[in-house]
Amino acid sequence: MTQQAAPESVAEPTAAHSSAQRTTKWLGIATAVAIVAFAYASFFYAPEDSIQGSVQRIFYVHVASAWIAALAFFVVFAGSIAFLVSRNMRWDAYAGASAEVGLLFTTVVLVTGMLWGKAIWGVFWTWEPRLTSVLVLWLLYLAYVALRAYVPDPSRKARFSAVLGIVAFLDVPIVYLSVKWWRTLHPEQVIITEQGPQLPGMMIVALTVGLVAMTLVYVYFVRLRFNVNDLEQQIKREVAK
Amino acid sequence: MSGAEVNGPVMLAVGYGLAVVLYGGYWIYLKQKASRLETTLRKVKGSGN
Residue ranges for chain A with pLDDT beneath 70: 1-14, 16-17
Q: Is residue A9 one of the residues assigned to a domain?
A: no
Question: pLDDT tens for residues A24-78?
Answer: 999 999 999 999 999 999 999 999 988 899 999 999 999 999 999 999 999 999 9
A111 contacts chain B (CB < 8 A)? yes
- Kindly provide the ipTM of the predicted complex, given to two decimals: 0.87
Nearest CB to B34; choose among A120, A228, A239: A228
Q: Is residue A85 one of the residues assigned to a domain?
A: yes
Q: How many CB atoms neighbour CB A69 within 10 A?
A: 28
Q: Is residue A12 one of the residues assigned to a domain?
A: no
CB A83 within 8 A of CB A95: yes
Residue ranges for chain B with pLDDT beneath 70: 1-6, 48-49
Q: Is residue A25 one of the residues assigned to a domain?
A: no
Q: Nearest CA to CA, how far is A49 from chain B (Å)?
A: 11
Into how many domains does chain A fold?
Answer: 1
pLDDT of amino acid A14: 61
pLDDT of amino acid A169: 97
CB A102 within 8 A of CB A144: no
CB A104 within 8 A of CB B7: no
Which residues from B are below 8 Å from A10, CB to CB? Answer: 38, 41-42
Nearest CB to A119; choose among B4, B33, B42: B4
Q: Is residue A42 one of the residues assigned to a domain?
A: no
Q: Is residue A92 one of the residues assigned to a domain?
A: yes
pLDDT of amino acid A200: 87
pLDDT of amino acid A198: 78
3-class DSSP state of B24 = helix
Q: Is residue A14 one of the residues assigned to a domain?
A: no
DSSP A53-108: BGGGGHHHHHHHHHHHHHHHHHHHHHHHHHHHHH--HHHHHHHHHHHHHHHHHHHH
Q: Is residue A37 one of the residues assigned to a domain?
A: no
Residue-range definition of the domain harbouring residue A88: 55-240
pLDDT of amino acid A163: 97
